[in-house]
Amino acid sequence: MNEPNMGWIGRDLGLDKYDSSQPLGYLASPWESMQLANGNSITVAKYGEAYKYLGHYTLNKEHVRAFLPGYSDPWYDNGIWDYDCEGKMRLLKKGYFDFKTKEDFQGGNLRAERV
């Protein structure tokens, strides 16, 4: 991999979009992605070739969950989000992937391997 993306590590899980100077495809925030995975419909911007804005599109209109029957959402299981009194998803831990968490993602997973 050339210049791999760090994914959500060090990112706020809120509605902030990726700060991409070269957007391509559908741009969903981490929180929107979690909602999509749990069967919610979300409207997001889409960019095409040459980073041309193509408009906003509604994703997951069929409300399909990404998890197979019998499997649960790992983000829910880890307390990152929960349902509110109206049954809607609400984000509880926006800073879950911060560099300074008890999980220490950077130190535990991003160390350079020496051969």
Q: What is the 3-state secondary structure (H, E, C) of 16-71?
A: CCCCCCCCCEEECCHHHHHHHHECCCEEEEEECHHHCEEEEEEECCCCCECCCCCC
Whether the per-residue pLDDT at 88 is higher than 90: the answer is yes
Query: What confidence tens digit (pLDDT) does each residue in 34-87 have?
Result: 999 999 999 999 999 998 999 999 999 999 999 999 999 999 999 999 999 999
Query: What confidence tens digit (pLDDT) does each residue in 91-112 have?
Result: 999 888 877 655 555 555 555 5
Distance CA 41, CA 71 (A): 20
Whether the per-residue pLDDT at 5 is higher than 70: the answer is no
Residue type, 94: K
pTM of the model: 0.75
